[in-house]
């Protein structure tokens, strides 16, 4: 009978250890996925900013060329229009950067929550395995 209890306790210990191992592996995988997502997000943000900046600079250069071709280089309204376009373009880029930043923060908060929740559930499962 005593040997049976020892085998049963060993079985419970192994099940508990397996639950803990699974929890740690899940947390490690979530952390790795989080880092990959964040790196992709930063890369996407940089590519978006570069693409929009290039488009804006091309549009402004074309506008300057058209205005110069018309001989209106000293015209204040042409310069004002160009400044408005530049302002709107850079404002759009800043808004995109802010949206990427918010997504980055949201991913971070969600991943931390998932890891904490998984840790608590893993510890509960391991404890239950021991107590059964």
pLDDT tens-digit readout, 37-89: 999 999 999 999 999 999 999 988 888 888 777 766 556 777 788 889 899 99
Is 125's pLDDT higher than 80? yes
The structural domain count of the chain equals 1
Instruction: Provide the sign of the torsion angle of the four alpha carbons 114, 117, 123, 128, taken in this order.
Output: negative
Is 3's pLDDT higher than 80? no
Instruction: Provide the sign of the torsion angle of the four alpha carbons 55, 56, 60, 66, taken in this order.
Output: positive
Average pLDDT of the residues of the chain: 86
Please state the rounded mean pLDDT for residues 15-33: 89
Q: Which domain holds residue 72?
A: 2-131
pTM score? 0.72
CB 130 within 8 A of CB 27: no
At 7 the pLDDT is 67
| Whole-number Å distance between alpha carbons of 4 and 116 | 36
């Amino acid at each position: 009978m005593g040997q049976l209890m020892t085998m049963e306790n060993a079985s419970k210990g192994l099940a508990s250890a397996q639950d803990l191992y699974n929890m740690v592996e899940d947390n490690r995988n979530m952390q790795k996925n989080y880092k990959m997502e964040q790196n992709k997000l930063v890369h996407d943000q940089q590519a978006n900013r570069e693409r929009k900046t290039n488009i804006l600079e091309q549009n402004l250069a074309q506008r300057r060329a058209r205005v110069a071709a018309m001989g209106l280089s000293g015209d204040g309204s042409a310069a004002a229009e160009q400044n408005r376009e530049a302002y709107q373009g850079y404002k759009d880029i800043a808004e995109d950067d802010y949206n990427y930043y918010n997504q980055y923060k949201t991913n971070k908060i969600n991943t931390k929550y998932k890891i904490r929740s998984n840790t608590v559930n893993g510890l509960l499962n391991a404890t239950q395995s021991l107590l059964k």
